[in-house]
Structure 1
Amino acid sequence: MSNWLLDRLFETGDQPKPRFAFQGTVNWMRALAEVVDSGVCDKVNLKNLYQKVQRRHVNPEADNWVFENMHMAYNNLAALNTMNTEAIDKYDMCSSAIVSWYYAIYFASSAMIAASSGSKQENHTATARVWQADIAEKKLIPYPFDLYLSSLVTNKAEAEVAVYRGDNEFDLNQKSGGLEVAHGGIVSYLKGTHKYKREEAEERIQNSKEFKALKVDNFRKKIAKELRDKTLDKGKVNFLIQAFRYRGKAHYRDSIFLSYGENHMDSIEQLIKDLNVVALGFTRAASHYCSVRVEKGTWELFVDDIKNNTRLSLDVETIRV
C-alpha cells in the first residue's frame, strides 16, 4: 500500500523512520509503567520517602499555587482515565493522550515546586530547571522519575549515564519485560534526551553573537570548545525535560508515526494504559510531597472539597494520601 503523505514528508529529509520513532515511544512508556507497577509509588513507599520532609512555615499564597496546579493535574488524569475506560478506538486519542499525560506531569511538578520554594515559572523550560534543583537533586521523587544529568557537556553526562547503567545492556530496541529491561530502556531514553538537548544547545550557540565573533565554523578550536562547554555545563536533563521532549516528538515533530501506516493496535492500547499508570504514579508522589509541605490539615480539606464539588468522573482517592 502506498504511503503518499509519508513519502512526501520524507522528501524534505526531516521525517524519522516511523518504526524507530514508534518503537521508542511505546517502549519508554512501557518501561516506566513496569517500574511504577512494581509498587514504587504505593502509599507505604511514598510515606517512607517523605517521612522526614519538614512542613514549611504557613504560606497561603504558595499553598494556593499548590492546590491550583494539583487540580489541573487531576483534570488531566481524569482525561487519561476516560480514554482508557470509555474510548473504543484507542488510535483516535493516542496523540491527545500523550498531551494529557504531559500536562498531568507538568502541573504536578509545578505543584511540587510551589510546595518546595513557592516559586512560579513563566515557561516549561524554567519549570524543569527549578524542579531539578528543588526536587530531583534533593531526592524528593521516587525512581524512575529521579534520574537526572547535571550537565550537557558530553564527558560529564556520559559518566553519569554510565553510573546509572552499570552493566545493564538493554535499550529501547527491546520491549520491556522485567525490571532489568525496563531500567535499560529508561537509561537509554535519558541518554537520547541528552544528545537531543546537547545538539539543540549547540545550534543555539552557533547562531549566537559570541560564536560568530570567533570567526570559526565549528567547535574544533579550543576557544570554540570553551564557549560551547561553558554554555553546555549550565544545561540539565531530568524527567520533566524528558517528558517535554516526549510530548514534542509525539504531538509535533514526529506526529505521523502514531496513527498512520501499519496497524499496531495492541501496542497503542498498551500505550494508553501505560500513560495512565505513569501519570497516576507521578501524581501520587507529588500529592504525598505536597501534603506534608502545605499548611497542616489543608490537604485533607482540598481533597474533600474536590470530592464534594468536582464534575469529573475520576475517583478523588487517587490524590488522597
Structure 2
Amino acid sequence: MPQWLLNRLFESKDQPKPTFAIQGTINWMRALSEVVNSDEFSDEITNDIYKKVQRRPKNEGADTLVFENMLMAYHNLASLDSLDKDVSHKYDVIRSAIVSWYYSTYFAASAMVAASSGSQQETHTATAKVWHSDFAEKGLLPYPFNLCLSTLVGKDVKSQIKTLRAGNSYTLNVHSTNLDEAKGACLSYLSGTADYKKWEVEERVKASRDFKNLGVDNFKTKAAQSLRDDALNKGQVNYLFQAFRYRGKANYRDSIFLSYGNSYEDKMDLFVSDLKDVTSAFVRVASIYCQKRVVKGDWELFISDLEENTRLTLPVNIMKI
C-alpha cells in the first residue's frame, strides 16, 4: 500500500505535494545563507546602517525586555547549534530545528522593538507589524533581512518585485550556489509570501459584515474590489512575516512534507547548517542595534554575566560587540 498516509491526507484536505513543499523550504534557507555568508553581509555593513542610531534616554523596563528577549534568542540559537553539531540523522530533528530558528528570530526581533520603542506586543503578528514600521520601512536592516513590501495590492506587488529583481530571473526552484541565484530565490519567497498574505486578507474581507452586505461571493464588482483593495493596501510583508509563514508550514499546515516520501538526505545536513548561519546573522544584527540603544555599558555587563553564568555550551561571541 504505497504512501497510505499521504493519500489519506489528500482525500481529507488541501495537502501540498511533499516534494514541492520541501524544495521551497530548503531553497529559501539556502538562499538566505548564501547571502549572509557573502561579502554583502558583514558587521561593517550593519554598523554603517546603524551609525546614526542614538542611545535613548534611560528606560530600565525597556532595557530589561531587550536583555530578556536576547537571552531567549541566544538559547534558541544554542539549541539549533546542538542540533547541527550533535545529531547525525537530521530528519529526526528538522521540525525542531525550524522551530528553534523561528523563535530565535522572533525573540531577537522583539528585542529590537523593545530597544526601539520600548514596547512589548501581545502577538507575533503585532510584533511583525511594529518591527515593519520601526525597521523595515525605515531602511534600518541589512540585506536580505530588509526585503519587504508595504502593500498587498496585486499590481503594486508585481511592480515592486520586478523593480527589486532588476532582471534577475532565478526562482525558488534553484538550490543556490551563488549570489545571483540566492537573490532571485529570496525575491521568489517574498513574492510567494505576498500571495499568501493576500489570500489571508481576501478571506477576512469575505467574512466581514461589509462584504456580506453587498450580497456577492467574489470580487468582481467595484464595491467588492474597493473593500478588498482598501484592506490589501494596508498589508505588509517583511522578514518576520516570512518567518511566521515558514514556521507555520513546518509546524501546522503541511504536516507531512518534512519527514515522508522522497529522501533529501544529501541536503539535510546543509539545511540545518543554513538555519544556524541565518539565525546567527540575524541575532548579530539585533545585538549591534540593541547595544547602541540600551544604557551605555549595560550590554557589556549582560555579555559578561552570560559568560560567567550561562549553562549553555554556545559561546556568547555572537552577541559580543
The offset of 1:13, in angstroms, is 4.0
| AA at the equivalent of 1:10 | F
Identity %: 55
| 1:11 match: secondary structure | helix
Structure-1 separation of matches of 2:216 and 2:81: 53
Q: 2:153 is matched with which residue?
A: 153
Structure-2 separation of matches of 1:34 and 1:116: 29
TM-score (norm 1): 0.98
Q: 1:139 is matched with which residue?
A: 139
Instruction: Mark the runs of 5 or more structure 2 residues left unpaired by the alignment.
Output: none
Name whichever of 8-17 and 282-291 sits farther off.
Answer: 8-17
Equivalent positions of 1:1-321 (< 5 A) are 2-321=2-321
Structure-2 separation of matches of 1:266 and 1:307: 36
Structure-2 separation of matches of 1:49 and 1:85: 33
Query: Deviation above 6 Å: which 4+ runs of structure 1?
Result: none
| TM-superposition CA deviations, 1:185-215 (whole Å, max 9, x none) | 0000000000000001101110111100111
| TM-superposition CA deviations, 1:144-181 (whole Å, max 9, x none) | 00011001111122221111111000001111110000
Structure-2 separation of matches of 1:255 and 1:307: 39
Structure-2 separation of matches of 1:218 and 1:45: 47
The offset of 1:258, in angstroms, is 0.9
| AA at the equivalent of 2:316 | V
Q: CA RMSD in A?
A: 1.0
Structure-1 separation of matches of 2:132 and 2:121: 13
Asked if 2 retains the 8 angstrom alpha-carbon contact of 1:28 and 1:185, the reply is yes
* Number of residue pairs aligned between Structure 1 and Structure 2: 321
The offset of 1:217, in angstroms, is 1.4
Name whichever of 289-298 and 33-42 sits farther off.
Answer: 33-42
The offset of 1:41, in angstroms, is 4.3
Structure-2 separation of matches of 1:80 and 1:145: 20
Asked if 1 retains the 8 angstrom alpha-carbon contact of 2:165 and 2:184, the reply is yes
The offset of 1:245, in angstroms, is 0.2
| AA at the equivalent of 2:86 | E
Asked if 1 retains the 8 angstrom alpha-carbon contact of 2:193 and 2:237, the reply is yes
Asked if 2 retains the 8 angstrom alpha-carbon contact of 1:174 and 1:181, the reply is yes
TM-score (norm 2): 0.98
| 2:122 match: secondary structure | coil
| AA at the equivalent of 1:205 | V
Asked if 2 retains the 8 angstrom alpha-carbon contact of 1:171 and 1:185, the reply is yes
Structure-1 separation of matches of 2:240 and 2:67: 20
Asked if 2 retains the 8 angstrom alpha-carbon contact of 1:27 and 1:172, the reply is yes
Structure-1 separation of matches of 2:24 and 2:307: 37
